[in-house]
């Protein structure tokens, strides 16, 4: 039985990854400092092949037993989080990645970095392919996340070239699904949260900016396929179906079955105007492409939020 260490394993993506790997027969070590992750995401996973370690990945990492894969997913990932924790975000992308790489080197393990489409910044090329170097403001408010991930990619490739470490880099585009936090500030949970509360949906700018949304199960499948390749260059993982934010808002209003209005606010600084992955590399090398349609994924996500909200209401009514 091979062992996989997942840093950030109690987060949204990390917890789904832990769950998938357990189902495939791996032993999983989940490491998380719970700054944005939660024990609720992994409570159902606890068995003899799953172990949780509460630790900040920027500290010294010691794992006694052999480790076959190190999947580095630790980092705040939504603007509300990395703007609240700018220095911690920079540290986990730099020091944390260094520590995780060092552990992979010690264990002779495969190392997979969870990078992001944010390395492309506010792109001048559309759609974004892996050979595009990006248009990033290093001193803007989003720079703490963008540059942390760009550094993480650079040090990962340095370990690959200098130490001959087996490395993989996944550039993850907008992903959604169950276990997202309703208050994490990202657009889908934000719209659903406002819809549930009967509030107007807040659209920044005029809503013409575009995004592409990948359902969590599709993303996890792509990550697992990537960890089993020997391809070291970055690979985009995301859904290449693109829509505007105003279209997304109207779709969520429709699926939630509510009547509400849309209000517009000023676009945040450096907010990308377009975001769509070019995924031919993933199709060719991984044999991967997303399968879950936006409507199906949104229905499943909204149903999960409804069930979670109903459960929370029930607990409050019982005084829990």
Residues 15 and 186: their CA atoms lie apart, in Å, by 18
Catalytic residue among 69, 120, 145, 159: 145
The DSSP string of 46-98 is -STTEEEEE--TTSPP---S--SEEEE--S--SHHHHHHSHHHHHHIIIIIHH
Residues 183 and 203: their CA atoms lie apart, in Å, by 16
Residues 235 and 161: their CA atoms lie apart, in Å, by 17
Inter-residue contact 17 to 77 (CB < 8 Å)? no
Residues 296 and 317: their CA atoms lie apart, in Å, by 32
3-state secondary structure (DSSP) of residue 137: coil
Q: Let me know if 145 is a catalytic residue.
A: yes
Other Cβ atoms closer than 10 A to 108: 11
* Token pair recorded at residue 3: 């062992």
Active-site residue list: 145
């Amino acid at each position: 039985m091979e062992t996989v260490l997942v840093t950030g394993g109690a987060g949204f993506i990390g917890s789904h990854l832990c769950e998938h790997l357990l189902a495939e027969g791996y032993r999983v070590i989940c490491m998380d400092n719970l700054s944005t992750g939660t024990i609720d995401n992994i409570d159902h996973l606890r068995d003899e092949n799953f172990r949780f370690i509460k630790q900040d990945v920027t500290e010294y990492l010691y794992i006694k037993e052999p480790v076959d894969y190190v999947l580095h997913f630790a980092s705040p990932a939504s603007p509300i989080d990395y703007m609240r924790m700018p220095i911690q975000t920079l540290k986990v992308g730099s020091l944390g990645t260094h520590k995780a790489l060092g552990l992979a080197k010690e264990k002779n393990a495969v190392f997979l970095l969870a990078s992001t489409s944010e390395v492309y910044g506010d792109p001048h090329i559309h759609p974004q392919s892996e050979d595009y170097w990006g248009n990033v403001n290093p001193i803007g408010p989003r720079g703490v996340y963008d540059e942390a991930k760009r550094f993480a990619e650079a040090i990962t490739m340095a370990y690959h070239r200098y130490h001959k470490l087996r490395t993989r880099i996944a550039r993850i585009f907008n992903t959604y699904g169950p276990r997202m936090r309703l208050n994490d500030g990202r657009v889908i949970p934000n719209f659903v949260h406002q819809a549930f509360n009967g509030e107007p949906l807040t659209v920044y700018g005029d809503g013409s900016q575009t995004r592409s949304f990948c359902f969590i199960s599709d993303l996890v499948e792509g990550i697992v396929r990537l960890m089993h390749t020997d391809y070291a260059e970055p690979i985009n993982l995301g859904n290449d179906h693109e829509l505007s934010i105003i279209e997304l808002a109207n779709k969520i209003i429709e699926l939630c079955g509510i009547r509400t209005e849309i209000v517009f606010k000023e676009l945040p600084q450096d907010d990308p105007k377009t975001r769509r992955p070019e995924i031919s590399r993933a199709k060719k090398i991984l044999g991967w492409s997303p399968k879950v349609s936006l409507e199906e994924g949104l229905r499943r996500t909204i149903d999960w939020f409804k069930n979670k909200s109903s459960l929370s209401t029930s607990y409050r009514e019982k005084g829990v």
